[in-house]
Structure formats: C-alpha cells, structure tokens
Amino acid sequence: MAAVVEHPISPEVENSTMGSQLDALNQWVMDVARVTQPDRIQWCDGSDSEFAELVRGMEADGTLLPLNSETHPESWLHRSHPDDVARVEHLTFVCTSEREDAGPNNHWMSPADAHAKMDALFAGCMRGRTMYVIPYCMGPIDSPLARCGVEITDSPYVVANMRIMTRMGAAALARIEREGRFVKGLHSIGELDPERRFIMHFPEELTIQSYGSGYGGNALLGKKCHALRIASHQARSEGWLAEHMLILGVENPQGQTHYIAAAFPSACGKTNLAMLIPPEGYRNEGWKVWTVGDDICWMRPGPDGRLYAINPEAGFFGVAPGTSEKSNPNALATIQRNTIFTNVGLTDDGQPWWEGLDDRKPAFDWRGNAYDCNGPAAHPNARFTVSARQCPSWSPKAEDAQGVPISAIVFGGRRASLVPLVFEARDWKHGVLVGAAMGSETTAAATGAVGVMRRDPMAMKPFCGYNFADYFAHWLSFDKPGAQLPKIFHVNWFRKGEDGKFLWPGFGENLRVLEWMIERVEGRASATDTPIGALPKIGDIRLDGVALSDEARRVLFDFDRAGWQAEVDSLASFLDEFGTRVPVALKNEQARIAAELRNG
C-alpha cells in the first residue's frame, strides 16, 4: 500500500531556483519510504499546532504521561524500555573507507558492510507507523557556522524532542533550499531489541543511520551524532572545531563580558558550571554569569583572528538525578514548565522526582512500579528536555549569528590527587597537549580499583568522528600567523584531602577561579611558572569568605614534581596508541615537559 504523504514539499518550492536540491531531498525521502514502508509520511513544520497534535497522540497511546499541571504546566513524563536507557558506545560505529581514518578511538565498520547491515534492518520496519521528516538547523538559523540536517524517524517522541533541541521546521527547510546541502539522518525504533541495535556514522557521506533505540543519545540525531561525530569531520575539512564544550559568559561589574568554553568528561559538573550563580559577595558587586550552551560548542576563526563560538543546540538534554536547589538552582528553575522528562520517578501528586532533588518520597519509580525503596526511583541517566531560553541565566548572545568571542578554553577532569586547582598552559601547543591528556579517575565502586585514570582527550573520546591523531593535528593547525587564540587552562574541582573529602567547595565558588583566568587573559594577574604550566599563588585568587583547610591551601596551589613525572611519562605511552599519525610537535611538547620535570 502506498504511504499517505502529509505536508510534502510544495509545488512552489519544487519549482524554485533551488528546486533541484529539494527534489533530491524529496527523492531521498521517497527512497527511504520504499524501503521502510510506512503507512503515512508527515513533513514536520515545527509549528505549535503540530506539536500539540503530536502530544495528543502520545498521551492517547501512553508514550507521554501529563504531569501535575499546577506545579509543572505543559510537562510530561516518558518511560523508555528498560533495556533502552543510555548511549550504546559499543554499538556505535564510524564507517570510513579506510579504517585508519576512523582511528583506534572509534569502532569501525566498512561503509559497504554497514549499509548492508542497516538496509536489512530498515526493510519494512515502519509498517503500521508514521514516517516523520524533520528538517532542522544546528545553530542560529541565520548563522554562517550553523549546519542543517534532515532526520527521518518513526518516533513522535523524537520529533517532540528535536523541536526543543534544534531550530526545526519551515525555516530550516528554507535554509536547506538556499544552501543545497544537509546531513541525512535515518532513525527507527525498530523492535527495541538490544540484539538489533546499531548507530552508524558515514562521515564521508554526511549520513547517520540509527536503528533499535528510542533513547535520546541514540535517536535525537541532531545531538551527539550530527553535532559532534559528523560535525567534527566537517569541521576538520572546513577549518573549524566541533567540541564537547559548554559556553558561558562572565560579566564583571564594569559590564565587560568574557566568554569561556570548557570541556569536561561526564560527572564533572559541566552543566553546573554553565549555569553557575556567583557567590553572594560577587553578586553584590555586580558580577553575572550568562549561559550560552551547556554541552556542545562550534568554534571558527573570525576576521580578527579570534575564535568565535556558537551553541548548535536550542535546548538542554540534561541529567536529572543530582539536580537540585543546592547543586544547580538555575537548571531546576528551567525545568518547572514546558519540559519532557524521561525515566524519572513520580510523586503521588504527579510531580517528577529523582535522587538528590529533595527529601520527599516518590510514589512510583521510573518503570512505573510502586516505589518500594529498593534501588533508585529515577534511572541514574534520567533526563529532561527543555528549551534553553527558559534558563534564568540564558544569554541572548546564544542567538548571535556570528557567535561570541572566546577568551579562554578550559579543560578539566575528576582527579582526587595530583592535579592542582587550576593551571594555565604556556602556549597553544602546550594547551593542546593538556587537552589531549585530560581524564578522570575511577572509583572502586565503578571499576574495582581506586584511582585508575581514564584519559578522555578534550572530553571527546565517545564523540570524535575521526582518528584522534588527526584531531590533535587539526587543533594544532589553528596556531598560525595572525591568530589571536584563547588562553588554555586546566581545572580540577575534585581534589581530595587525606580524609577523602573535597578540598575545594566548588559550585558558585568556581567563579573565583574563572576571575583569575580572566585576569590572566587581560594580563593583570600573577602566576608562578612551573613545568606543568602557570599556577596561581594562594593570594592570586580571591578567597574572602571561603573556609579552606591548611591542607587545601597547601596542595591546591602547588604541584608534586615526582607525581607529575609519572603522569607525563604515561602520556607518552598514551600518544603512542594512536600510531605514526600523532603530530611530532605534540610528542616534542611531551618530551619537553618531561625533561623539565626531570631536570628541575
């Protein structure tokens, strides 16, 4: 039976000067329909009426459960299949013609084998379903750095989330018409069978195919799949950077704002930093922090040689557990309305609940069962999807077509020992090595061994769409005559004392460290040069009102030479894992630091 097509490309558009490009889009949609065999095809326009219709359908079939309309208006709960609650990195592939181009940091499959596997899975998979066609734009719709895509999916939940997370619909389709290029994404929830689940990326074809999962990280193809894995490949060929970074603005009492991009692995306070609320003393002085983005950053050199950044996303797909009035009041305020919650618990009056939120006892767990106190009520990876504009600290500059100028780039990880509170790389090359070396220590509960350090270069280990060695070389390539590159710093909010407790209070107090960074950018703050970089002395950072122990004052602002010798020596072995493509300049930088540590 032929599929019913709703809202196809109009004859006016098909007959326009760029009609051939949209003819190609229409042809691809029809080709997909012939393979997947949906009952209906719906072209999504991103309108309020379309969203309302989708929600009514999902409420009717139980996909979305309305929450308490008084406490959380226009908000819903979605419960995913218990076997479909997170990204599946072991089933995520980068499919390049040459295996070496994907690199040891990616799972690889040849494009021919991957297409054959996916073609078999997609055959007839949408029978009885609607096939949604979602034109979307990653980034402000008129930004020269934004890039468009089209996701085809059989999940109305995906459509609703993509409407929040991207600039979706008619405006994106118009830009595709103008530009004539877009990333193709094909997704089906399939049977939600973990044995029939794959996420394939074809960077050379600007194509993504995802089957067998409805979880956001695997199904919202504009997010990690497009905005990082495919975009990082695009960025390398086009001369920009697609990074797993937050973007925030720090405004001083004089009204001057510096923008900072920061990369952290998971569980390192990324969203909390993006939505930081200054300490009371700073607020009274007039300091403000603006949220441009909490997860992904696209940067390119501007005419003045500085790097300018946009947040390609329009919303937050945040982790709910741990979000509270104490940890992130801005995030909590953001999700009080117009939010889709996934896999959280429920109170008896229909409010979303998760561990760390408050002291109430939930009535139902994330599976919909009566909560019996055995295990968490919310899944540890429970999420919220919400428009970034609802964040109290949202910056209107997030919609600036040219992006915001980046003054500093920050790398950081969860390190209980060795790494000081903050240090500054001596130059761009050293900073790239600092980013390549970053990582976090594991705990006994997670791995059976305490203090095992997992390296996660630039927090991109799961997301870089090509060989890390080539990625490092691409970063180094930005250091050229005329470039006005950001200073690079490394932070560690998680240093612990001998008693196992954190030495630094974190949260809003982190602004004190950002202030020192900004003063370094402006040439106003002092520091002590060491082989690992420039460290502030304890008097270089404002600590009024911060109670630091003697141990904290001693170790947060110093470095352990012997410990760093072992750290830098291990970095040589890590770089060797990526073979002969690793830039010689990066290896020389590692050798330089190792020699300084030995000879100091």
**Residues classed as catalytic:** 268
Contact residues for 303 (Cβ-Cβ < 8 A; gap 6+): none
> Any binding-site annotation on 341?
no
**Residue 514 CB coordination number (10 Å):** 24
Tokens of 234: 């695009």
> Any binding-site annotation on 509?
yes
> Any binding-site annotation on 14?
no
> Any binding-site annotation on 374?
no
> Any binding-site annotation on 115?
no
Q: How far is CA 283 from the centre of its chain?
A: 28
> Any binding-site annotation on 266?
yes
How far apart CA 345 and CA 353 sit, in angstroms, is 5
> Any binding-site annotation on 217?
yes
**Residue 482 CB coordination number (10 Å):** 7
> Any binding-site annotation on 295?
yes
> Any binding-site annotation on 87?
yes
Asked if 425 and 443 count as a contact pair (C-beta separation under 8 A), the reply is: no
> Any binding-site annotation on 338?
no
> Any binding-site annotation on 381?
yes
DSSP 227: I
Q: Is 444 exposed, middle or buried (0-12, 13-18, 19+ CB in 10 A)?
A: exposed
**CA Rg value for the chain:** 24
> Any binding-site annotation on 467?
no
> Any binding-site annotation on 315?
no
> Any binding-site annotation on 224?
yes
Query: Among residues 287, 272, 300, 533, which one has the least CA distance to residue 406?
Result: 300
β-strand partners of 352: 346
**Kind plus residue range of the DSSP H or E element containing 128:** none
Q: Is 201 exposed, middle or buried (0-12, 13-18, 19+ CB in 10 A)?
A: buried
β-strand partners of 93: 107, 200
> Any binding-site annotation on 308?
no
Contact residues for 555 (Cβ-Cβ < 8 A; gap 6+): 420, 495, 497, 503
> Any binding-site annotation on 268?
yes
Contact residues for 282 (Cβ-Cβ < 8 A; gap 6+): 511
> Any binding-site annotation on 272?
yes
> Any binding-site annotation on 382?
yes
DSSP 3-state of 160: helix
> Any binding-site annotation on 489?
no
Binding residues for Mn(2+): 224, 244, 295
Binding residues: 87, 215-217, 224, 244, 266-272, 295, 381-383, 414, 507-510
Binding residues for substrate: 87, 215-217, 266, 381-383
Binding residues for GTP: 267-272, 383, 414, 507-510
